Structure 1
């Protein structure tokens, strides 16, 4: 019996807020609302392994752009 796969509720690795991870339908996931270029993506992935909420992604992107 296969249960219907629901989206996972996970905690943001940076701020700890809970959000719904939609990695299995990433076009609807909140992280796709934050546009990151390859350098910004690399900058963030060097500091964090897990998922981050959209607000943290935005903060880190802006941080990178101000460097």
Structure 2
């Protein structure tokens, strides 16, 4: 028996793990837990078109920061 949710379950485009996408309530979505600046957002959007989980967003933010020789967030 499946749990009922009012939001769509999607697969992360990068790691394929399922998560609840709250695009219609994006301030409550798991992706909003990862703070990205404009450059980081642009870098990620050039690589992926779809939704990404918070873990992948964090990994990609750190990947960008390493490429740009910027400090990583703890």
Higher relative CO (CA 8 A, sep ≥ 6), structure 1 or 2?
1
Correspondence 1:33 to 2:33: yes
Find the aligned partners of 1:26 and 1:13 in 2 and give their Cα distance.
18
Match of 2:12 in 1: 12
**Normalising by structure 1, what TM-score?**
0.91
Question: Any stretches of 5+ residues in structure 1 without a counterpart?
Answer: none
Question: Any stretches of 5+ residues in structure 2 without a counterpart?
Answer: 68-74
Find the aligned partners of 2:27 and 2:52 in 1 and give their Cα distance.
16
Q: Runs ≥4 in structure 1, deviation > 2 angstroms? A: none
Find the aligned partners of 1:54 and 1:39 in 2 and give their Cα distance.
17
**Normalising by structure 2, what TM-score?**
0.83
